[in-house]
């Protein structure tokens, strides 16, 4: 079919008009000033990305999306960017909003950075992606189960220690000092708390106490694994569980934040590093990830890397997350963004670039 076209590979590296879209909804109640997960930090990050993209010679228009979806679409259509840099992140409306926004952008016919709507939606449903990974033969934590009502706890056979979290959140939301449970009673209480306060099922699985790694991945058809980063919990007081909780990720004033650090590159024997990298790549491919991602992996008692989650479109800020791994690999932040743009222009092999009328 002659009318079907993919985004043109020749455009790679040339100056582009980039529309940088992000979630500008500030209607989420008061933000604690020490909470780095707020919208002010998101804006700050988006501006840092715009500066980096401009340094590469691209023209960048920042397009906030809050409530006016029609206005947002009109604006995008008028701008007619060559590529949409998708930074729409949503912890307020629930798991499906990121997927919906990504689908709208693609239906309008614009190439878009990062993962497809399908992969974004799938990976926000932690239980679905875990089931998929398991089905594909990729190790995940044992005893993984979705618990939708309190009465299901009775039938759950997993052996403690267990970790319990909301099944449709990300960014550490719902993970705190009470997330690790050692008894049926504690499990029941935690599940009840999650059902009540997050209005979604709880994900329960074996709590792995081994080393934890973040594996950055960049590319399109050809993916590369970035230097491994390891989460270091050794400075954490023993009464606080060694997990990347909400506090450890975002609350600067918390003990969790102050006593948890990330080492990059991690000191890992070459064999293990290869095994971790391969597991992460397989997981990213399995969920249909594209462009860039971060796979969280933890070792089990036997030293086998198991996938905790695949993050499609992870936080993208200089010095943090996959950008930190990139710098270790000798890639500066603007180059990382260029690789992400290249993957967007390359396009997913099965995704035709046809605007919907
Ligand atoms: N099964 C598990 N065993 C050990 N630690 C876990 C497990 N699941 C989650 N964690 C801890 O909780 C953190 C957050 O979990 P994750 O599944 O990555 O969700 P998110 O980062 O989306 O909140 C992980 O970085 C890890 O420290
Ligand atoms: Mg994670």
| 162-208 pLDDT per residue, tens | 999 999 988 899 999 999 999 999 999 999 999 999 989 999 999 99
User: Which pLDDT belongs to residue 222?
Assistant: 95
- Residue 5 CA to ligand 1 center (angstroms) comes to 40
Please name the residue whose Cα sits nearest to atom 10 of ligand 1.
Answer: 243
What's the pLDDT tens digit per position in 241-263? 999 999 999 899 999 999 999 99
Mean pLDDT of the chain: 90
User: Which pLDDT belongs to residue 129?
Assistant: 96
* Domains (range + CATH), the chain: 17-115 (3.40.50.20), 132-138+209-344 (3.30.470.20), 140-206 (3.30.1490.20)
Please name the residue whose Cα sits nearest to atom 11 of ligand 1.
Answer: 243
- Residue 9 CA to ligand 2 center (angstroms) comes to 33
Which token pair is 320?
């943090």
- Residue 242 CA to ligand 1 center (angstroms) comes to 10
- Residue 115 CA to ligand 1 center (angstroms) comes to 21
| Ligand approaching nearest to the C-alpha of 175 | 1
Query: Residue 296 pLDDT > 80, yes or no?
Result: yes
User: Which pLDDT belongs to residue 96?
Assistant: 79
Give residue ranges with CB within 6 A of ligand 1. Answer: 141, 163, 170-172, 175, 205-208, 212, 243-244, 296, 298, 308-309
Q: Hey, which residues does 202 pair with through a beta bridge?
A: 147, 166
Query: Residue 122 pLDDT > 90, yes or no?
Result: yes
Query: Residue 234 pLDDT > 90, yes or no?
Result: yes
User: Which pLDDT belongs to residue 224?
Assistant: 93
**Which pTM does this prediction carry?**
0.91
- Residue 212 CA to ligand 1 center (angstroms) comes to 9
User: Which pLDDT belongs to residue 13?
Assistant: 64
Nearest to 167 by CA among 144, 184, 150, 183: 144
What's the pLDDT tens digit per position in 328-356? 777 889 999 999 999 999 998 777 777 77
User: Which pLDDT belongs to residue 105?
Assistant: 96
| Ligand approaching nearest to the C-alpha of 306 | 1
What's the pLDDT tens digit per position in 79-118? 999 999 999 988 777 667 899 999 999 999 999 999 999 9
Query: Residue 8 pLDDT > 60, yes or no?
Result: no
User: Which pLDDT belongs to residue 142?
Assistant: 98
User: Which pLDDT belongs to residue 7?
Assistant: 41
User: Token match 């918390």: residue?
Assistant: 254
User: What is the pLDDT confidence band of residue 11, given thresholds at 50, 70 and 90?
Assistant: very low
Nearest to 276 by CA among 232, 244, 230, 241: 230
Nearest to 36 by CA among 246, 204, 288: 246
Percent of the chain past pLDDT 90, that is, above it, reads 76
Query: Residue 25 pLDDT > 90, yes or no?
Result: no
Query: Residue 71 pLDDT > 70, yes or no?
Result: yes
User: Which pLDDT belongs to residue 36?
Assistant: 58
- Provide the 10 A C-beta neighbour count for residue 146: 18
User: What is the pLDDT confidence band of residue 34, given thresholds at 50, 70 and 90?
Assistant: low
Q: N- to C-terminal Cα distance for the chain?
A: 18
Query: Residue 3 pLDDT > 80, yes or no?
Result: no
């Amino acid at each position: 079919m002659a009318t079907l076209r993919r985004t043109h590979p020749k455009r790679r590296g040339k100056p582009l008009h980039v529309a940088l879209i992000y979630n500008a909804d500030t209607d989420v109640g008061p933000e604690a000033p020490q909470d780095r997960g707020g919208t002010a930090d998101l804006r700050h990050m988006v501006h840092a990305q715009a500066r980096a993209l401009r340094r590469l010679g691209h023209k960048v228009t920042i397009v906030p999306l809050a409530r006016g979806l029609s206005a947002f679409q009109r604006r995008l259509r008028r701008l007619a960017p060559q590529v949409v840099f998708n930074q729409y992140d949503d912890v307020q409306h629930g798991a499906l909003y990121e997927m919906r926004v990504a689908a709208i952008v693609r239906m309008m016919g614009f190439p878009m950075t990062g993962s497809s709507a399908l992969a974004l939606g799938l990976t926000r449903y932690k239980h679905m992606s875990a089931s998929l990974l398991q089905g594909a033969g990729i190790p995940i934590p044992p005893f993984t189960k979705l618990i939708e009502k309190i009465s299901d706890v009775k039938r759950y056979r997993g052996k403690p220690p267990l970790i319990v979290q909301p099944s449709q959140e990300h960014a550490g939301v719902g993970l705190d000092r009470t997330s690790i449970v050692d008894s049926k009673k504690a499990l029941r209480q935690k599940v009840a708390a999650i059902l009540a306060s997050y209005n979604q099922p709880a994900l329960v699985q074996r709590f792995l106490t081994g080393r934890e790694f973040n594996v950055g991945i960049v590319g399109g058809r050809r993916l590369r694994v970035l230097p491994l980063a390891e989460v270091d919990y050794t400075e954490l007081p023993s009464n606080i569980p060694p997990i990347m909780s909400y506090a450890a990720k975002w609350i600067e004033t918390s003990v969790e934040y102050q006593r948890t650090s990330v080492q990059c590159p991690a000191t890992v024997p070459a064999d293990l590093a290869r095994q971790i990298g391969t597991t992460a790549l397989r997981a990213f491919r399995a969920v249909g990830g594209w462009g860039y991602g971060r796979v969280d992996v933890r070792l089990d008692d036997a030293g086998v890397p198991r996938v905790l989650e695949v993050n499609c479109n992870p936080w993208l800020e200089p010095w943090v997350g996959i950008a930190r791994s990139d710098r270790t690999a000798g890639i500066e932040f603007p180059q990382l963004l260029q690789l992400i743009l290249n993957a967007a222009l390359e396009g997913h092999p099965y995704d035709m670039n046809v605007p919907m009328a």
